[in-house]
A and B are shown apart, each in its own frame.
Chain A
Amino acid sequence: MDLIKKTNIDFVSNRVAIFRTSVIIALIGLAATFLPGMIDLGIDFTGGTQITVKFANQSASADQVRVAVGTIGYGSAEIKSFGSTGEYLIRVNETGRASEISAAIVAGLQTSFANDTVTLLGADNVDPKVSSELAFDSALSLILAAIIILLYVAFRFQFAYGLSAIVALAHDVVLAFVISVLFNKTGLLNLELSINSLAAYLTILGYSINDKVVVFDRIRENREKHKGMSLVDLVNLSLNETLSRTIITGVSVLAALLVMVFLGGDVLEGFAFTMFIGIVIGTFSSIYIASAFLIWYSDRVQHKNVGELHTKKA
């Protein structure tokens, strides 16, 4: 099978408009997520106690659960459910004695919903001290990972490539984050920002940098092969030459993730969803963010002649 023939698509002419649009969307989205109540930080980052219970017969509504939990003295508890599985997240803004709180809540719910069977799926109790440390450590390790990527790509290619990769990675993570935050509001999937979802963002970073390196590698190779070709032409040629690989790899990985979104269960679905959108964005950003930034940076900052696009008939 060979679905993608040799192409000669003009990827670079609209680069400025698309780059700007995408970055603006990402920035507006990022600003919007910082409106109060937008980001659902998981218990890992807020501290507190969170209890997950399951009603076997799915007889309770979120409001009934809220009232029932209120009767045990947790009137300010936050109740959440995702899908219609009879599962509820109950978050109590208080630390210590998680086992007693969860035991009391499960017993209380069982009393209130005598016709149903309430089981405790999980309980997390994180001290605010721990959660602020988790946030700090996570941010630190992410930033250091980004610096290492920058250094390595700069070393293997050129500094401009490393910088382009970092700009594109930041764009990918921000956009994936914004979409996750917005999608979390639909209540279909649990996409709270937790230490586990951090692994999903790291996966996006890893996939995206892989994609960029493949394109950069082709540019590097074509630079030697077609001496004297303008940068714009080199980039466009390389994007076309790697297009087949980009699509095949992307499609196979996305198909695999889609299976996990629908069949992965509570634990994997949210995870796989974030990765799915991240990989779509990462693929897009190799073309329109990383490559576009590379051309812009070489042109405007390094004052190199990047040339105009000369499309040849294939």
Chain B
Amino acid sequence: MSSKTWSKWLLILLPIIAGAYLLWPTYNYYRMNQERDGLLGDSAAIESWDLANGEDFAKARNARLKLGLDLRGGMYVTLEVDILKLIEESADPLSVDEDFTNILEKTRAQTDNTDLDVLDTYLVNFRASGKSLLQYFPLSSSDEAKGGDPEKAIEEKLRNDAAGAVDQAMEVIRQRINKYDLSEVNIQKQGARRIAIELPDVKDEKEIRALIQTTARLEFKRVMMTRDLIRTFYAIDNVLKGVVAAEPVVDTTAVDSTATAKDTSAVAKADTSKKNANPYAGLSDDEVARRVKRDYPFSYMLTGLFAQSEKSSFQNFDLILKKAEDFPEQGIYNFVVSGTILPQFLKYLERADVKRAIPTDLDIVVAARPEGTPAKDGTPEFYNVYGVVREADLTGDVVTEAFPSFDQSSNQPMVLMEMSGEGGERWAQITGANIGKRIAIILDGRVYSAPTVQNKISGGSSQITGATSPEEANLLAVVLKAGALKAPVKIIEERVVGPSLGEDSIRRGVTSSLLSFALIVLFMLAYYAWGGGLADIALLMNVLLVVAGLAGFGGTLSLPGIAGIILSTAMAVDANILIFERMREELYAGKTLKVAIDLGFAKAWSAIIDSNLTNILATIPLLIWGSGPVRGFAVTLLVGAVITLFTAVVVTRAMFTLIAASGATTFNIGQKRTA
């Protein structure tokens, strides 16, 4: 074999070897994963398997071709730092007045659906009001010492806080998520204010949602479940009464016929036995339910437990047809709301008119997770509803350390929490003044735990008991630790692809893609005979190299990426067809095989390069400005078009050259036998 022939063989074989090498981890990963799954959750076997293969498995996993969330299932979340909340937080709470809130609200309205910089807009609005920043924001002692313009110093501090907020939030979220031993979580900074989180293989979606959604604003607030809270419930009823009825409800009778009708009708009956003044007496259950919902649009959602003292037993009660005065001022109250109506409940609480009806020192908050162990049979879950003192007694930044543990004596799970020196002193004051009372641990407005203070805690070291499972204690510890973060973030995009959809789409997508590809391969073979066979080899290489290229660059294959592969494959098919049609023309014109090959490639070349280059260049803006999915398309198209140029022109050509060099004078590319 001559050196020229050798180099042609290398041109054909080297890319195949390289492609196979890059895709080997992918194959390996799926083989090992299957083997591991085959152990069926036998933890001892999995442990020994991990010990033997863990390193190889992790290596294969890192180098494999990753599938996008749209193909494999998982969660995608985009968070944005809430700069206004940050500003509100930085202000001295005692100085906050109506003007301050108005400026914030105005800025919120201006920036909600625009691209304006929030902090800049705020500062402009603030200056326009003619107020001084110093009036609301504390000047740090170091800035004070430095002298200079205090207004500038405060502005500078706000800017720094805003800039640092994303990194801070990212770090905390990463730490929180890492605790959950999730594989391949991808957390990325997007622009200056956003964080994109991709979570494939989410095992406990609910928990992760809770964790991501909670934005690490940890507060300790005293629980205030008094008659005032009940009064507030009724006040909210009054606010909502007219408003809610005016909202279009598609089927009001159906609204109450399912979840709530049972409770409320039972209460209505119980009431008739006690009092005669029941306005709902004699009405059908459905009608009663409808009217209860009309008259008590808020309170009907709640059911409560009540005890005179800690020792007396709890009794169930309902707020319908009662007055706040029916309930004793002193007592232990407990309210729950069903998970099915929780979104509605929270929506009401966010209404401006409802907020106004709540006393300024009170806040109504809901538990982050349902009471007890989650029900699997679809029965509604109940969330505790708390009244708390609005002003936080302590914020989470004083927490320095928190970890789950077990109580030595009872072996119950618990959480140990450490606080900084200054925080510990305040904690001692608070706990000392509230022995026997409850303090709610609130993260992002949702209650994770509301332990009762047993005694004054000095030295900053606390034990929180009451967790029903080690998992619960673990979550509480994570929550407490997350408290060090001051930056409030909000979810602006959330996508969940259920694993069943992911599985189904992979299976059907792969099957149909393979069938499509087989169809093209057969067609080329039928139409261009041996030439088609050579083109098929080049096509197979094309797809192999695109996929291998993606795996090699650590890219992700998503649905739009498949579109990119389809397009680049179509262009590779087209390139081969262009070449063959040209070769046929030359053969029909009576040229020899060698000349026809040379001319065929030479003449097809300009069309192939121009069409592929046009596409390659067109991907550039898509790569720069396109959003996620569009970029996914552009990446595979770019890789595909470059590889098409290589396979169609270099590889197919090398194969034809080898045939011509072997001394063949005829070659069947499907042309008519006689020219």
Task: Give the CA-CA distance A131 to B308 in the complex, in Å.
Answer: 53
Return the chain A residue nearest B495 by Cβ. A124
- Indicate whether B563 reaches chain A with its CB closer than 8 angstroms: yes
- Indicate whether B389 reaches chain A with its CB closer than 8 angstroms: no
> Which of B156-164, B590-598, B615-623 sits within the interface?
B615-623
- Indicate whether B206 reaches chain A with its CB closer than 8 angstroms: yes
Q: Are B611 and A125 in contact (CB under 8 A)?
A: no
- The count of residues in chain A whose C-beta lies closer than 8 Å to any C-beta of chain B is 95
Q: Are B341 and A67 in contact (CB under 8 A)?
A: no
> Which of A16-24, A100-108, A181-189, A305-313 sits within the interface?
A100-108
- Indicate whether A277 reaches chain B with its CB closer than 8 angstroms: no
Q: Which residues B615-657 have CB closer than 8 A to chain A?
A: 615, 617-622, 624-630, 632-634, 637
> Which of B38-46, B313-321, B523-531 sits within the interface?
B523-531
Q: Are A256 and B630 in contact (CB under 8 A)?
A: no
Q: Are B344 and A73 in contact (CB under 8 A)?
A: yes
> Which of B11-19, B47-55, B466-474, B510-518 sits within the interface?
B510-518
Task: Give the CA-CA distance A257 to B516 in the complex, in Å.
Answer: 7
B516 contact from A3, A209, A259, Cβ within 8 A: A259
- Indicate whether A30 reaches chain B with its CB closer than 8 angstroms: no
Q: Can you list, as one digit per residue, whether each of B329-360 has a CB less than 8 Å from chain A (1) or not (0)? A: 00000000001111110110000000000000
Q: Contacts A1-B526, A119-B498, A266-B505: A104 and B559 contacting too (C-beta < 8 A)? A: no
**B571 proximity list for chain A (CB < 8 A):** 206-207, 210
Q: Are B611 and A218 in contact (CB under 8 A)?
A: no
Return the chain B residue nearest A165 by Cβ. B614
**B626 proximity list for chain A (CB < 8 A):** 137-138, 141
Return the chain B residue nearest A264 by Cβ. B512
Q: Contacts A140-B625, A260-B512, A267-B509: A245 and B578 contacting too (C-beta < 8 A)? A: yes
- Indicate whether B607 reaches chain A with its CB closer than 8 angstroms: yes
Q: Are B340 and A107 in contact (CB under 8 A)?
A: yes
**A99 proximity list for chain B (CB < 8 A):** 205-206, 209, 213, 494, 496
Q: Which residues A184-229 have CB closer than 8 A to chain B?
A: 195-196, 198-200, 202-203, 205-207, 209-210, 213-214, 216-218, 220-221
> Which of A33-41, A171-179, A246-254, A291-299 sits within the interface?
A246-254
- Indicate whether B584 reaches chain A with its CB closer than 8 angstroms: yes
Most buried by A among B209, B493, B559, B603: B493
**B564 proximity list for chain A (CB < 8 A):** 199, 203
**A73 proximity list for chain B (CB < 8 A):** 255, 341, 343-344
Task: Give the CA-CA distance A70 to B247 in the complex, in Å.
Answer: 13
Q: Are B500 and A54 in contact (CB under 8 A)?
A: yes
- Indicate whether A144 reaches chain B with its CB closer than 8 angstroms: yes
B615 contact from A67, A104, A209, A271, Cβ within 8 A: A209
Q: Are B574 and A214 in contact (CB under 8 A)?
A: yes
- Indicate whether B130 reaches chain A with its CB closer than 8 angstroms: no
Return the chain B residue nearest A241 by Cβ. B585
B250 contact from A67, A123, A217, Cβ within 8 A: A67
- Indicate whether A280 reaches chain B with its CB closer than 8 angstroms: no
Q: Are B630 and A249 in contact (CB under 8 A)?
A: no
Q: Are B378 and A111 in contact (CB under 8 A)?
A: yes
B671 contact from A2, A153, A271, Cβ within 8 A: A2
Task: Give the CA-CA distance A262 to B610 in the complex, in Å.
Answer: 33
Chain B proximity of A129: nearest CB distance (Å): 6
- Indicate whether A236 reaches chain B with its CB closer than 8 angstroms: no
Q: Are B493 and A127 in contact (CB under 8 A)?
A: yes
Return the chain A residue nearest B212 by Cβ. A99
Chain A proximity of B566: nearest CB distance (Å): 6
**B634 proximity list for chain A (CB < 8 A):** 202
A144 contact from B511, B513, B625, Cβ within 8 A: B625
**B528 proximity list for chain A (CB < 8 A):** 1
Q: Are A260 and B341 in contact (CB under 8 A)?
A: no
- The count of residues in chain B whose C-beta lies closer than 8 Å to any C-beta of chain A is 103
Q: Are A265 and B509 in contact (CB under 8 A)?
A: yes
**B511 proximity list for chain A (CB < 8 A):** 263
Task: Give the CA-CA distance A128 to B115 in the complex, in Å.
Answer: 12
- Indicate whether A62 reaches chain B with its CB closer than 8 angstroms: no
Interface of B is mostly: helix
**B566 proximity list for chain A (CB < 8 A):** 203, 256-257, 275
A266 contact from B496, B501, B523, B562, Cβ within 8 A: B501
- Indicate whether B606 reaches chain A with its CB closer than 8 angstroms: yes
- Indicate whether A75 reaches chain B with its CB closer than 8 angstroms: yes
- Indicate whether B380 reaches chain A with its CB closer than 8 angstroms: yes
Task: Give the CA-CA distance A75 to B344 in the complex, in Å.
Answer: 12
- Indicate whether B187 reaches chain A with its CB closer than 8 angstroms: no
B341 contact from A104, A137, A156, Cβ within 8 A: A104
- Indicate whether B520 reaches chain A with its CB closer than 8 angstroms: yes
Q: Are B527 and A248 in contact (CB under 8 A)?
A: yes
Chain B proximity of A58: nearest CB distance (Å): 15
Task: Give the CA-CA distance A43 to B125 in the complex, in Å.
Answer: 33
Task: Give the CA-CA distance A110 to B491 in the complex, in Å.
Answer: 27
Q: Contacts A1-B670, A119-B498, A206-B637: A256 and B254 contacting too (C-beta < 8 A)? A: no
Q: Are A149 and B622 in contact (CB under 8 A)?
A: no
Task: Give the CA-CA distance A239 to B343 in the complex, in Å.
Answer: 62
Task: Give the CA-CA distance A108 to B71 in the complex, in Å.
Answer: 27
Q: Which residues A3-35 have CB closer than 8 A to chain B?
A: 3
**A170 proximity list for chain B (CB < 8 A):** none
Q: Are A110 and B378 in contact (CB under 8 A)?
A: yes
Q: Can you list, as one digit per residue, whether each of A138-166 has a CB less than 8 Å from chain B (1) or not (0)? A: 10110011001100110010000000000
Q: Contacts A72-B341, A128-B113, A207-B570: A202 and B630 contacting too (C-beta < 8 A)? A: yes
Return the chain A residue nearest B115 by Cβ. A133
Task: Give the CA-CA distance A263 to B519 in the complex, in Å.
Answer: 14
- Indicate whether B613 reaches chain A with its CB closer than 8 angstroms: yes
Q: Contacts A252-B523, A253-B570: A130 and B496 contacting too (C-beta < 8 A)? A: no
Task: Give the CA-CA distance A116 to B421 in the complex, in Å.
Answer: 57
Q: Contacts A122-B495, A249-B577: A206 and B519 contacting too (C-beta < 8 A)? A: no
- Indicate whether B249 reaches chain A with its CB closer than 8 angstroms: yes
Most buried by B among A66, A202, A213: A202
Task: Give the CA-CA distance A17 to B58 in the complex, in Å.
Answer: 64
Q: Are B578 and A268 in contact (CB under 8 A)?
A: no
**B206 proximity list for chain A (CB < 8 A):** 99, 103
Q: Are A129 and B570 in contact (CB under 8 A)?
A: no
Q: Contacts A196-B560, A255-B523: A100 and B255 contacting too (C-beta < 8 A)? A: no
- Indicate whether A132 reaches chain B with its CB closer than 8 angstroms: yes
Most buried by A among B346, B513, B566: B566
Task: Give the CA-CA distance A127 to B113 in the complex, in Å.
Answer: 9
- Indicate whether A52 reaches chain B with its CB closer than 8 angstroms: yes
**A263 proximity list for chain B (CB < 8 A):** 508, 511-512, 515
Chain B proximity of A138: nearest CB distance (Å): 6
Q: Which residues B283-340 have CB closer than 8 A to chain A?
A: 339-340
Q: Can you list, as one digit per residue, whether each of B168-197 has a CB less than 8 Å from chain A (1) or not (0)? A: 000000000000000000000000000000
28 A-B residue pairs with Cβ-Cβ distance under 8 Å, sorted by A, are A1-B527, A3-B527, A71-B255, A73-B255, A73-B343, A75-B250, A108-B259, A108-B340, A121-B501, A122-B498, A126-B495, A127-B492, A134-B627, A138-B626, A141-B625, A141-B626, A198-B630, A199-B564, A199-B630, A217-B611, A245-B574, A248-B527, A255-B523, A256-B517, A259-B519, A265-B508, A267-B509, A268-B559
